[in-house]
Amino acid sequence: MRPECDKENKMKRMIKRMFLFLFLFTFLLSTVPSFAATGGDTAEQSQRVRVGWYNSDRFQEGDAERDRKSGYSYEYLQDVANYTGWEYEYVSGSWSELYDALVNGEIDLLAGLSFTEERASLVNYPAYEMGYESYYLYKRAGNEEINGIDLSTLDGKRVGTLKNNLMTDYFEVWMRESNLACETVLLDDFQMRDEAFANGSIDALIAVNNNVAANSGFTPVVMVGESSYYLAVTKNRPDLLAQLNKALAALKESNPLFIQSLQIKYFNHTAVNATLSPEESAWIGSHSSIRVGHIDAYMPYCGSGADGASVGVITDIFREWQRQLDLSKRISIEYKSYPRYTDLIAALQSGEIDVAFPVHDSIWSSEEQRIVQTNDLIESGVYLVYKGEYHDKATTGRIAVSDRSAFQRNFVAMNYPESEIYVADTLEDCLEAVKQGKATCTFFDSGQAETLLSKRKYQTLNRLTLGESINYCMGVKKGNNVMYSLLSRGISLIDKSNTTNAMYAYIDSNLEYSLTDFLLDHISLVLFVVLVIIGLIVTIQYVHHQAYIDSLTGFGNKRAYLDAVRQTEGRTDFAVAVFDLNGLKIINDTYGHEFGDMALADAGRCLKKVFGNARLYRFGGDEFIAIETNSTLEEMRQRFALLDWELEEVNRTERPYVAPLSLAKGAAAYIPGTDASYMEVFKRADQAMYEDKRAYYEKHGGR
């Protein structure tokens, strides 16, 4: 080949390669932006999810766009989002409207949708259920025209239920199978149903058992069906269904009891009906009191006060039991104390008392004694108390057990069957036996340990926390079925956190630290007699000030506020005002926290000028609360006007921080017949404050 031809061919090949390179470069350049845009849109769609939001007590609460949301469904959605990264857009509406929106693809998710074959053709269901529920027909508690035993009394009655809801389908099937002819009244949402029931437009209603509060005045007549429900997905978003199934599988694997824990958290009280059965009502009608026996000197659970009256957690439990079942005026509680546990059980068996407390949660032991146990009331940890060094079996060789204890003997028998038992009278005698070497150890529950081991004479003893817990309950004689039913109904409605709080309140009140103890701890100061006395007074005042007073404003602190709340419970003549300093973050970020503290102090002085006679508290960083007794909402609002004037006076003066001093504020007063507790009044005041704060920031900008 000629050299000229070779060069020519090489040139042609180079030109072809250049054209090919330019073609590929142009193609990639034109497609990259398109891919990037498409990828961005997909990512945004996968993260932004539209959720149907209807208002339903304890399930979905807070239906407005800016309302704080809570409930079973809300927590469930947030846990799903923890795995998927979804951000929710809440779309409010009635149940019926939102179901149609899900079918039409106008929303992506709807919670609480039960499964039917028809719905499965219209929407997608995940592989895992969201929860489970039963559907009941409810009547008013006092309605004698409808009888759960004679269901024919339902014939012709108007029964309210929801459109496009599975509970309605179950009810209609049940009605046909029961040969009943009720008039079905279809309503759009839960609120309309409840309003119709309240105004008498319907005689009964169909509701989910977890949607009816125990003290609502509704009485279940009969169950008409039950099913599981799901977080349903629109047919248009199979990608969301895949993500949801993956998230739910991971959630179930990491927390197998997730659904059960949500059911207990949100629906524990709704699953119990506070209305007494005919047998229970008859028992209450024929008795003037319930006789409750308890162990003496068994604090913080039970004991006798200086006047001989019974004290301890048992009295708090029965007060709450009476309140939950509305029995405070119908039946009284008679307490009787017994020195030993065996005496208590003997009194129960002989019929001298109706109820025994505390009974250790040991079903085997209770069966032997022919006792029926209620649900657990108190859970407590277990301490091993001993002297010297711990030497495994040697330390538990001889165990001191009190005749008063409801759990010691059972606990030792189950866990240390080979150990020798030293029988003591009281719980303190058990500690004395260990201290004096008569026993190598003893066992206490945490409530008793906190009370007794705080005493100086037992500070030489050691305690070891065991990885176990014990439970206390009440006991009734086997065969006393109505008494057991009454106790169980009320106990199921009691918030266990209240019982725990009461227990620690008694522990605190029984802690002993005498003047002698103090002097022994500070023996050198005894030489300076006068100085010691003055020092004690100053120290006590300082500790009290530190414990209850906010150092910046001089107001009561959070601890003092909680004490005030406890004192306010039961009163009906008080008002609450809640305040929050606007713009504190701006002051802190712009001028520094020193200036933020100046602003808080200025706000505190304004509040003290206006609310001088009220109980003022600094609850948090920039939050203040005033509790005013013998005051009305109108009087609070008049004080707000004075407060605005005081703030204006401060803003006219020259201050180190330039930002204007402003307080968001809200107030509420106790409404007899409506409010059941201090917290209901506080929540209204807090909501009013947040509305005021929102208005401030809408006017002045910022968040």
pLDDT tens-digit readout, 553-588: 889 999 999 999 999 988 899 999 999 999 888 888
Our measurement of the distance from residue 492's CA atom to the centroid of its chain's CA atoms, rounded to an integer in Å, reads 15
Nearest to 140 by CA among 204, 196, 89: 204
Based on the fold, state whether residues 613 and 494 are members of the same structural domain: no
For the beta carbon of residue 232, count every other beta carbon within 10 angstroms: 28
Q: What is the enclosing helix (H) or strand (E) of 141?
A: none
Residues 305 and 311 sit within 8 Å (Cβ to Cβ): yes
| 27, amino acid identity | F
Report the C-alpha gap between 488 and 281 in whole angstroms: 15
Question: What's the whole-number mean pLDDT along residues 657-668?
Answer: 88
- Does 244 reside within a domain? no
* Domain end among 512, 531, 566: 512
Confidence of residue 6 (pLDDT cuts 50, 70, 90): very low
- Does 63 reside within a domain? no
- Does 42 reside within a domain? no
Residues 380 and 473 sit within 8 Å (Cβ to Cβ): no
- Does 545 reside within a domain? no
Q: Where are the beta strands (DSSP E) in 195-261?
A: 204-208, 218-234
Confidence check: pLDDT of 250 > 60: yes
Confidence of residue 33 (pLDDT cuts 50, 70, 90): very low
pLDDT reported for residue 268: 64
Based on the fold, state whether residues 508 and 563 are members of the same structural domain: no
Confidence of residue 422 (pLDDT cuts 50, 70, 90): very high
* Exposed / middle / buried, residue 177 (Cβ in 10 Å: 0-12, 13-18, 19+): exposed
- Does 269 reside within a domain? no
Based on the fold, state whether residues 489 and 340 are members of the same structural domain: yes
Q: Which of 150-159, 285-294, 401-410, 432-441 has the lowest mean pLDDT?
A: 401-410
Based on the fold, state whether residues 566 and 482 are members of the same structural domain: no
Domain coverage including residue 604? 558-700
C-alpha Rg value of the chain to the nearest Å:
34
As beta bridge partners, residue 361 has none
For the beta carbon of residue 304, count every other beta carbon within 10 angstroms: 16
Based on the fold, state whether residues 485 and 562 are members of the same structural domain: no
Based on the fold, state whether residues 562 and 681 are members of the same structural domain: yes
Confidence of residue 62 (pLDDT cuts 50, 70, 90): confident
Based on the fold, state whether residues 642 and 582 are members of the same structural domain: yes
Higher pLDDT, 329 or 6: 329
- How many percent of the chain have pLDDT more than 70? 86
Residues 333 and 461 sit within 8 Å (Cβ to Cβ): no
Rounding to the nearest 10 degrees, give the CA dihedral for residues 543, 545, 546, 549.
160
Based on the fold, state whether residues 370 and 451 are members of the same structural domain: yes
| 353, amino acid identity | I
* Exposed / middle / buried, residue 123 (Cβ in 10 Å: 0-12, 13-18, 19+): buried
**Which residue's entry shows tokens 């929540």?**
683
Q: Is the dihedral of CA 246, 252, 253, 258 positive or negative?
A: positive
- Does 46 reside within a domain? no
Our measurement of the distance from residue 541's CA atom to the centroid of its chain's CA atoms, rounded to an integer in Å, reads 36
Q: Cis peptide leading into 358, omega within 30 of 0?
A: yes
Report the C-alpha gap between 282 and 396 in whole angstroms: 51
* Domain end among 452, 486, 512: 512
Instruction: List the CATH number of the domain containing 447.
Output: 3.40.190.170
Domain count, the chain: 2
Our measurement of the distance from residue 190's CA atom to the centroid of its chain's CA atoms, rounded to an integer in Å, reads 24
* Domain end among 512, 528, 549: 512
Confidence of residue 376 (pLDDT cuts 50, 70, 90): confident
Based on the fold, state whether residues 508 and 585 are members of the same structural domain: no
Report the C-alpha gap between 138 and 141 in whole angstroms: 9
- Does 202 reside within a domain? no
Based on the fold, state whether residues 649 and 588 are members of the same structural domain: yes
Cα 177 to Cα 171, 172, 225, 596, distances in angstroms: 10, 9, 12, 71
Based on the fold, state whether residues 566 and 423 are members of the same structural domain: no
Residues 298 and 380 sit within 8 Å (Cβ to Cβ): no
Instruction: List the CATH number of the domain containing 574.
Output: 3.30.70.270
Confidence of residue 520 (pLDDT cuts 50, 70, 90): low
| 407, amino acid identity | F
- Does 632 reside within a domain? yes
Residues 348 and 483 sit within 8 Å (Cβ to Cβ): no
Our measurement of the distance from residue 219's CA atom to the centroid of its chain's CA atoms, rounded to an integer in Å, reads 25
Residues 452 and 458 sit within 8 Å (Cβ to Cβ): yes
Nearest to 252 by CA among 126, 133, 74, 119: 126
Report the C-alpha gap between 188 and 54 in whole angstroms: 11
Mean confidence (pLDDT) of the chain: 84
User: Residues, the chain, total?
Assistant: 703
Nearest to 154 by CA among 196, 207, 205, 199: 205
The tokens for 340 are: 């030993």
Based on the fold, state whether residues 500 and 572 are members of the same structural domain: no
Question: What's the whole-number mean pLDDT along residues 479-486?
Answer: 91
Residues 600 and 584 sit within 8 Å (Cβ to Cβ): yes
pLDDT, one tens digit per residue, over 264-314 is 778 765 545 566 777 888 899 999 999 999 999 888 899 998 888 999 999
The tokens for 257 are: 């009891």
Residues 555 and 577 sit within 8 Å (Cβ to Cβ): no
Phi, psi (deg, nearest 5) at residue 214? -60, -35
How many CA within 13 A on the CB side of residue 554?
A: 10
Nearest to 319 by CA among 143, 115, 569, 25: 569
Nearest to 334 by CA among 359, 352, 358, 313: 352
